[in-house]
Structure 1
């Protein structure tokens, strides 16, 4: 087994290269650039442009819908609301904009199957970043897969014309460099290659500061259902073709057209039948015009909707995400579809909470704060998205005897900082109300 950064570099580089095609394919299905349906080697550019109109970003819509129920909104350290660890963690959250960073990592996980967080140091302060799976790979810890026993990040500096690779091991890291182009001037397309160490091995305290967010079963949310997306896009292409042909109906002349007029002159029928608005053709006796019948595209439209419903059911996403009008869906069916997505969101939240909390814990250790308290990322409740849903659930929870703080955190999705501010504002409102009441009583006595 490899024991040094130089020994791990070719191993991890080969693994990163091996999965690039799959990551790129998943990206294409989640950003609206899925493979074109009915593609051939000699396809004309005009046909390609027409094919692009047939793609609908079903993969991206499914990921965005699920990601909309996975919203981190704060951090908890132990049970205290004012300990040094809590205050430091909130500063780290604020300074690193972790709501955005964590959101990016979650998006990478849903759309490609894996996302990465790296905790580093800049000017003595902890920095947490979301890294692209095209650039980072790890050798996971068998006991805690979200942690790494070795990790690699490879990137290209276009301005300097250099490639860089950083390898982490527990307690040590090393940077490597190479030219971005071969001797012939061709850009290097693989991570594996001739790397040279840039400096010596650096040492640091702690384990590998790279944390893995891996999706369920190691696949992107839509990856098992790519065939359904391809079927939907192909059906849409066929409908567009049929629709376009309606604008260019096939016409034919029934009966033989004479080649010459009565004086023996050749007849230019192309000029006679030149199309123009309001044109009227004078046809010889016995000549009739045949026109192809219009094709009914309604069955094709219904087929697209049926495919969309199949995809929504397979991926447990409300059909309204793909068909906004929500046609042919009962209230009970909509509720069941929503419940499926909620359960899926809870599963994904459980999977990513540990690596995200570990990244925050490493940031606190960089600041010299590690009192043994549990660090945990908090989430907005995935069940309640709209404000109406939240207020209804809050009222029910209050009637059930839940505390105001619990309702704010677990139903309203209020962050710890917002809860503290709200409690301060509520205390101020009570003091102001008491002051006004006291002033009113005094005037009455006078």
Structure 2
């Protein structure tokens, strides 16, 4: 088994190269560039442009809808609200804009099957970054898959013409470098091969600071259902072809037009009878115009809706995400349609929480803060209830004896900073009210 960064580099590089094609395919289905329906080698550019109009970004909509229910909302350390760990964690959250960083990592997890977070140090301050799966790979710890026993990050710097690689092992980090081009001047297509160590290895305290967000079953949210997307796109292409042909109806003359005029000159009927808006033709007696019948595209439109419903069903995504017209849907039906996605969001939140908390814990350790308190990542409730429903639930929770802080966090979805600000504002309001009452009482006595 590999024990040094130089030994781990080719192992991890080969794994990173091997999955690039799959990651690229998943990206294409999530960013609106899914494979074109009915693609051929000799397809003309005009037809390719037409084909592109037949794609609907079902994969991206699925991931965006689910990701919209997975919103990190802050961090809690232990039970204290003012301990050094709590204050440091809030600074880490603010300085690293972790709401954005974590959202990017979640997006990578949903769209490609895996996302990465790396905790580092810059100028003495901890830095947490979301990394692309095209550039990072790990050898996971068998007992805790979100932790890594070895990790690689490789990237290309177009300004310097160099490729860089970092390999982490517990307590060791080694940087490698190479030219971005081969000896013949062509860009290197693979990560594997011809790396040189750049300086001595660096040491640090702790384990590998690379954390893995892996989706359920190690697949993207739509990856096992791309055939349904392909079917839907093909159906849309067929409908667009039929619709486009309506503008070029087949026409014919019945009765036989003379080829020459009275003077014996050839008649260019195609030019004379050229179709145009407002065109009026004076045809000889006995001549009739035949025109092909218009094709009814309504069955094709219903087929597209059926494909969208199939995809919504297999991915447990509300059909309104793909067909945003809910006039005929009851409130109860809409709530039931969202239930599957809500349960799925809770499952994905549970899978993403541990690596996110690990990245924050490593950031606190970089600051020298590790008092053994539990680091807990907070999330907005994935149910997305309205403010009216939240206030009703808050009243019911208060009647049941729950604390005001618990209600603000778990029902109203407020972050720790928002709770602290709300409590400060409430204290200010109470002081102002007491001051005004005192002033009114003094005026009355006078």
Matches of 2:56 and 2:241, distance apart in 1: 16
Matches of 2:378 and 2:20, distance apart in 1: 33
Q: Cα offset for 1:41? A: 0.6
- Gapped runs of 5+ residues in structure 2? none
Matches of 1:169 and 1:369, distance apart in 2: 22
Q: Cα offset for 1:112? A: 0.6
Q: Cα offset for 1:398? A: 2.2
Deviates more, 1:47-56 or 1:104-113: 47-56
- Name the structure 1 match of 2:82: 82
Q: Could you say what secondary structure the match of 1:278 adopts?
A: coil
Matches of 2:17 and 2:385, distance apart in 1: 39
- Name the structure 2 match of 1:402: 402
Offset from partner CA, 1:77-136 (integer Å, 9 cap, x none): 111111111111111111111111111100110111000000001011110000000000
Q: Could you say what secondary structure the match of 1:38 adopts?
A: coil
Q: Cα offset for 1:327? A: 5.1
Q: Do residues 155 (structure 1) and 179 (structure 2) align?
A: no
Q: Could you say what secondary structure the match of 2:289 adopts?
A: strand
Matches of 1:252 and 1:408, distance apart in 2: 74
Q: How does 1:196-275 map to 2 (within 5 A)?
A: 196-275=196-275
- Name the structure 1 match of 2:63: 63
Q: Cα offset for 1:356? A: 0.4
Q: How does 1:360-439 map to 2 (within 5 A)?
A: 360-439=360-439
Q: Cα offset for 1:68? A: 0.9
Q: Could you say what secondary structure the match of 2:118 adopts?
A: strand
Q: Cα offset for 1:260? A: 2.1
Matches of 2:223 and 2:421, distance apart in 1: 43
Q: Cα offset for 1:277? A: 3.4
Q: Could you say what secondary structure the match of 2:354 adopts?
A: helix
Matches of 1:301 and 1:327, distance apart in 2: 18
Asked if the contact 1:113/1:221 (under 8 Å) is kept, the reply is yes
Deviates more, 1:80-89 or 1:322-331: 322-331
Offset from partner CA, 1:306-329 (integer Å, 9 cap, x none): 211111111111111111112553
- Name the structure 1 match of 2:50: 50
The CA RMSD over aligned residues, in Å, is 1.3
TM, length-normalised to structure 1: 0.97
Matches of 1:327 and 1:56, distance apart in 2: 22
Q: Could you say what secondary structure the match of 1:42 adopts?
A: coil
Q: Cα offset for 1:409? A: 0.4
Deviates more, 1:281-290 or 1:136-145: 281-290
Asked if the contact 1:384/1:411 (under 8 Å) is kept, the reply is no
Q: Could you say what secondary structure the match of 2:11 adopts?
A: helix
Q: Cα offset for 1:304? A: 1.2
Q: Cα offset for 1:381? A: 1.0
Q: Could you say what secondary structure the match of 1:189 adopts?
A: coil
Q: Do residues 14 (structure 1) and 14 (structure 2) align?
A: yes
Q: Could you say what secondary structure the match of 1:29 adopts?
A: helix
- Name the structure 2 match of 1:129: 129
Matches of 1:266 and 1:415, distance apart in 2: 85
Q: How many residues align?
A: 446
Matches of 1:419 and 1:425, distance apart in 2: 10
Asked if the contact 1:313/1:337 (under 8 Å) is kept, the reply is no
Asked if the contact 1:29/1:57 (under 8 Å) is kept, the reply is yes
Matches of 1:378 and 1:394, distance apart in 2: 18
Deviates more, 1:112-121 or 1:234-243: 234-243
Offset from partner CA, 1:347-386 (integer Å, 9 cap, x none): 1111111000010110111111111111111111112354
Q: Cα offset for 1:285? A: 3.4
Q: Cα offset for 1:330? A: 3.7
Offset from partner CA, 1:41-92 (integer Å, 9 cap, x none): 1111111111111111111111111111111111111111111111111111
- Name the structure 1 match of 2:316: 316
TM, length-normalised to structure 2: 0.97
Matches of 2:204 and 2:392, distance apart in 1: 51
Matches of 1:265 and 1:313, distance apart in 2: 67
Matches of 1:242 and 1:148, distance apart in 2: 53
CA separation of 1:327 and 1:241: change in aligned 2, threshold 3 A: farther
Q: How does 1:131-146 map to 2 (within 5 A)?
A: 131-146=131-146
- Name the structure 2 match of 1:444: 444
Deviates more, 1:111-120 or 1:257-266: 257-266
Q: How does 1:320-335 map to 2 (within 5 A)?
A: 320-326=320-326, 328-335=328-335
Asked if the contact 1:69/1:385 (under 8 Å) is kept, the reply is no
